[in-house]
Amino acid sequence: MPVKFFAKAKETFEHCIRRNGTIIKVTALSFFIILFLTILLTIVVFSMVPWLSDWFWSMAQSERGYIAIPPPFTEGLYFFIFLNNIGHFWNPLKMLVWIPLLGTFILGFELLLNGGIIGIVAVTSGTVHGVLYPIVGLTPHGIVEIPAFILQFASLIRWHITTIEALVGKITGEKVDGMKFKQGIKDTIILAIASVILFMIAAYIETYITPSLLGM
């Protein structure tokens, strides 16, 4: 029974990925373009104003004093990271991204923000601690976390496409394709569940493995 369940789940997920391949590819491409441009811009700025990297790093460290981040190797840190990453599914403020049309603008801003933050942190930590630091600190969980973010954003985009098409159809008096609508909602849920599973794995790596690699 479990074997059949996982085989069916795998087949369903693969079909979902194929149906939403364009959305996933565009999301991934946008994310990596933003990441690349942010890294490039940060390197240029820091090379022109060297003291800025030290200032940014010290400011980031001082900000940690105002946020109660649990220590490494603890369940507290695991749930802090995990719940923060899946905030779109439970945090009322972050759930605004699900509002049709309005949420698309919030989603675009978040995609820009996430890519930008990762790029700035990578360059800043590399400037202060050496090139290997961001590679060791970001790569292990990033291999899982970045695909998780991409699937999360893809689920949100699929939701917006599905709901906006239905709303436009209702407003214009056109017949809404019920089967297409249901498939869109189903794909939204599948992509969301896949992202949550990956976030669980990424949070575990970031909590228990990354600190060991960084000697924390």
Q: What is the Cα Rg of the chain in Å?
A: 20
Q: Is 44 exposed, middle or buried (0-12, 13-18, 19+ CB in 10 A)?
A: exposed
Q: Which candidate, 157, 162, 156, 155, places its Cα nearest to that of 194?
A: 155
pLDDT of amino acid 63: 56
Q: Which of 148, 152, 155, 149 is CA-nearest to residue 185? A: 155
**Residue 62: per-residue pLDDT:** 63
Cα→Cα distances 156→24, 49, 99, 182, 193, Å? 11, 38, 10, 15, 12
* Angle in degrees, CA 186, 18, 154, rounded to 5: 60
Whether this model's pTM surpasses 0.75: yes
Give the pair of three-digit tokens for residue 154: 């893809």
Residue type, 206: E
Contact (Cβ atoms closer than 8 angstroms) between residue 141 and residue 210: yes
pLDDT of residue 174: 87
Output the tens digit of pLDDT for each of the chain's 216 residues: 678 888 999 999 999 999 999 999 999 999 888 888 888 887 787 778 777 766 766 766 665 555 678 899 999 999 999 999 999 999 999 999 999 888 888 888 888 777 777 777 777 777 777 778 888 888 888 899 999 999 999 999 999 999 999 999 988 988 889 999 999 999 999 999 999 999 999 999 999 999 998 876
> Using an 8 Å Cβ cutoff, are 49 and 59 in contact?
no
Other CB atoms within a 10 A radius of the CB of residue 166 amount to 18
